[in-house]
Amino acid sequence: MNWKTFRAMLARDAHVARRNALQLFMQTFLQPLLFVFIFGRVMVGSGYMPAYYKSLLLPGIIAISMVFTGIWAVAMPLIAEFQWTREIEDRLLAPIDIAWIAIEKVIAGMLQAVVAGLIVIPLAWLVLRPGVDITIASPLEFAAIVLLVAAFSACGGLALGCTINQQHIGLMFGMVITPMIFFGCTYYPWSALANFPLLQKAVLINPLVYASEGLRATLVPQFPHLSASAVLLALVAFDVLLLVIGLRQFENKAIS
């Protein structure tokens, strides 16, 4: 492991992210904030949704922002570097093991996902106030879930970015990201699917369910949610699985 090279690559990705900060902001926060405004402000203010829905909605919006940011930050550059610009060839020549190049991409994506999730809290509070009732009773548990969600999004981006071809980018969003969001318990708690028992069990294969329920458990524990232990175990399992798949796909692409 060449730590100097690793830090240099991470610093380069951080510089690129800062340079494209405005573009990243629009890509990351526009859609979640529109959902927050329509469902949390317009629908609640018009009386179509109960006032407590503001607090119920916020953890899901944070989860969406983190997952979308992490996947986008890792998958899109990888697709471009492997298939368009071929910039990945310069990194593969660096004095560092191939796997660590992929891990650096994951860490860079995790950092962006964490920032995206934390920024959503004050932005959504400004849009939804008054009436948002969130508390962080256990900061360590909240931090652990945030890091695991960020890792899931970045590892998922690594797996997708090394698997999907450039002509299938639209398919990635239409067939993977969109169903993940709508069946990820982002706009409703998992318990709301009790009237659909088969669907309630089927959505448990969606890692976004555990991201949304975990953030709901740590930010608005007054609402129904999955247990924190189940969320932590599931997120760890998904993180490891997606990282292994991503590393394998990355090495296969790098060698080919």
Q: Does the reported pTM lie above 0.75? A: yes
The answer to whether residue 195 scores a pLDDT higher than 70 is yes
Burial of 170 (0-12, 13-18, 19+ CB in 10 A): exposed
Asked whether residue 119 carries a pLDDT value surpassing 80, the answer given is yes
Chain-wide mean pLDDT for the chain?
A: 84
Asked if the model's pLDDT at residue 252 lies above 80, the reply is yes
Q: What is the pLDDT of residues 85-100, one digit of tens each?
A: 666 666 666 677 888 8
The percent of the chain in helix, strand and coil, each rounded to the nearest 5, is 80, 0, 20
- Confidence category of residue 29, pLDDT binned at 50, 70, 90: low
210, pLDDT greater than 90:
yes
Q: Where are the domains of the chain?
A: 3-255
Per-residue pLDDT at 202? 94
CA distance 255 to 210: 34
Higher pLDDT, residue 141 or 96? 141
pLDDT at 5 over 90: no
More confident residue, 18 or 114: 114
pLDDT score of 84 = 65
* pLDDT higher than 70, residue 249: yes
pLDDT tens for 152-166 read: 999 999 998 888 777
> In angstroms, rounded to a whole number, what is the distance separating the alpha carbons of residues 240 and 82?
24
In terms of Cβ atoms closer than 10 Å to its own Cβ (0-12, 13-18, 19+), residue 231 is buried
| Tens-digit pLDDT profile for residues 35-94 | 777 777 787 778 777 877 888 888 988 898 899 888 888 888 888 777 766 666 666 666
Q: How high is the pLDDT of residue 177?
A: 83
Render the burial of 23-44: b for 16+ CB within 10 Å, e for the rest. ebeebbbeebbebbeebbeebb
Whole-Å CA distances, 251 to 90, 134, 153, 169, 255: 15, 43, 20, 21, 6
* Separation CA 134–CA 125 (nearest Å): 10
- Give the torsion sign (CA, 171, 20, 181, 148): positive
N-to-C CA span, the chain: 23
The model's confidence at residue 190, banded by pLDDT at 50, 70 and 90, is: very high
